[in-house]
Structure 1
Amino acid sequence: MSLRPLRTLVAIVQHGTFARAGDAIGLTQSAVSLQVKALEEEFAVKLFDRSRRKPVLTEAGRVLLAQAEQVLSLYDGIPGALRDEKALVGRLRVGAIHTALSAPLPEALLSLRAAHPLLRVHVTAGMSAELAQRVASGDLDAAITTHPVGAHPPDLVWHMLYEDRFWVLAPPQAKEKKTSEILANLPFIRFDAQAWAGRQIANELRRLGVRVREEMVLDSQETIVRMVARGLGAAIVALPDATLAQLPAVAKFPFGLPQIHRSVVMLEHQSRPTGQFADVLADSIRSATLSISHQIHNK
């Protein structure tokens, strides 16, 4: 039997007459009457007291109404139950480099929470090399790192997320100067050369034949940017577009010929894949990256 006669019965009781019920569910009054007749024939009972002007349920009608409401409630709840079945439940331990923590990871986590409210994502900050070791040891399920540069733990696999570009940053008053002049004359605030991004910077400086006057070595790009903005020197950092758009007042120039970039990846151990958990996080990060880039380019 179709569910439509049951919906018709409920509509009659809700709206008071056959005509109003028909208007509510898109049937003519005669079609409503046929639906009621079909129910009465199906169950061999009278559903309404027809001696009255307005339709009044018989005892059999009240019993069927109660059952119809239960059946329809169960049926209408199926889509929600299927959505819940598809929702991920569990815990994902993720490490992330600092630039990913500023963007796009927060936006990705918000999207992930809305889609999978029972999935718990525990986030730890660190540098790429350290996070890779923690994935290798099983301390983390996955990590958002730069693409491995040089030696890295064996048996790790990665999936591309997005790219950062490298920039020379200098105090605002240096915006009219050449990059070579800035790097040669200003104190240089170096990003830790033990970090993968630090190695890329050091390699490109050597390739370009640029000598810098190193005064500080830091492992936090956020701190480096603040130092530069206060006029303490120049630096080279890798930044996503979203962070670049939110920098304080600093002069910025592409670094490298051509401008070098780094790939940001999702790192996992090949023998302990986190499957859907990491996949949905990776997809959320990619979507957040595209969304942020679109917003920036349309400002």
Structure 2
Amino acid sequence: MDTRFLESFLTVADCGSMAEAARRLNLTPAAVAQRIRALETDLGQTLVTRVGRTVKPTPAGRAVQLHAPSLIKALRDLRAMAADGMPAGQLRIGATASAMTGFIPDILATLTKRYPQIEYFLMPGSASDLYQAVQAGDLDAALIVQPQFPLPKALGWVTIRKEALLLIAPERLEVGNLHATIRMQPFIRYDRSQWGGQIVDRYLRRHHLVVREWAELDALDAIAALVNRGLGIALLPDWAPPWPEGLRLQKLPLQDGEIRNMGVLWDLSGPRIAATRAFVETCEALAANDR
């Protein structure tokens, strides 16, 4: 049985839609449907049924949905254990949006050359959600903003990039006093539910800055694009390249701004620890080269 088919079924059952499952899995709806049919043939049971525009598990599907996660995890662990201490098996990695484009490609390209036995599952998400996933054992490691609270002893952390807080403004805007500019110009806020957005909020509160806020977004590249079009200013961390192409911005460091630490959070134990350590060491090596 191909565990990818089980994972596809679980995604369909979770979101109730072949189209949404295909989007999450980066497949076509036809490919997802083909996987479900193959799994149904293998098990000899119908697993899903259509109800209007949604897809729901049948009674047999609900039984599979209940037990499949532990089976998938056991099979992943078995592959890693069979490697006898060598980095192998499926490594489950999470990354924030900026880390997914700024760090993951170089890290995985390097790691794949050294350890071709490792397979990868990538999960995008917010820092808080990815932290919870690593703590729960659903992910082996995650590239996230450093938590502002003590970590459990079961988790490891290493910082790989320090990102200064910037005032970004349209290229043609005359910027004199930074705080006066922040107060007077339309302000695009980095979402306060994000750990990085909380750094911005703390800066504004510490300096008693009341802003003319008109939008609050969680996507750094979208905020930068809006500023580029002259729709306001923003406070953002100097995140790892690439930034969107064609931007014509002023990037002005805030001398007393809080630093956003980006790094790797990982589970210190488990059957895939060899692959996890290889991932962490690769992150550290690439970070050292950048410095």
SS of the equivalent of 1:139 reads coil
2:233 match: 234
Is 1:149 the counterpart of 2:148 in the alignment? yes
Deviations 1:113-159 (CA, angstroms, capped at 9, x unpaired)? 11111211211111101111112222212111111025888954322
Distance verdict in 2 for CA 1:267–1:155, change over 3 Å: same
Q: Which ranges in structure 2 are unaligned for 5 or more consecutive residues?
A: 1-82
Corresponding residue pairs, total: 209
Q: Kindly state the Cα deviation for residue 214 of structure 1 after the two structures are TM-superposed.
A: 1.1
> In 1, distance between residues paired with 2:272 and 2:200?
32
Work out the percentage of aligned pairs sharing the same amino acid. 26
1:202 match: 201
Q: Which ranges in structure 1 are unaligned for 5 or more consecutive residues?
A: 1-83, 294-299
Is 1:283 the counterpart of 2:286 in the alignment? no
SS of the equivalent of 2:172 reads helix
> In 1, distance between residues paired with 2:219 and 2:172?
23
1:109 match: 108
Q: Kindly state the Cα deviation for residue 183 of structure 1 after the two structures are TM-superposed.
A: 1.0
Within a 5 Å distance, the mapping from 1:88-127 to structure 2 comes to 88-127=87-126
Larger Rg: 1
Q: Kindly state the Cα deviation for residue 167 of structure 1 after the two structures are TM-superposed.
A: 0.9
Within a 5 Å distance, the mapping from 1:61-210 to structure 2 comes to 88-150=87-149, 156-174=155-173, 176-210=175-209
Normalised TM-score (structure 1): 0.62
> In 2, distance between residues paired with 1:267 and 1:203?
24
SS of the equivalent of 2:187 reads strand
RMSD value, Cα:
2.8
Within a 5 Å distance, the mapping from 1:52-67 to structure 2 comes to none
Distance verdict in 2 for CA 1:144–1:210, change over 3 Å: same
Distance verdict in 2 for CA 1:212–1:247, change over 3 Å: farther
SS of the equivalent of 1:174 reads coil
**Contact 2:89–2:272 at 8 Å: present in 1 too?**
no
2:221 match: 222
**1:140 corresponds to which letter in structure 2?**
L
SS of the equivalent of 2:256 reads coil
1:48 match: none
Q: Kindly state the Cα deviation for residue 177 of structure 1 after the two structures are TM-superposed.
A: 3.3
1:265 match: 263
**Contact 1:148–1:196 at 8 Å: present in 2 too?**
yes
Q: Kindly state the Cα deviation for residue 91 of structure 1 after the two structures are TM-superposed.
A: 0.9
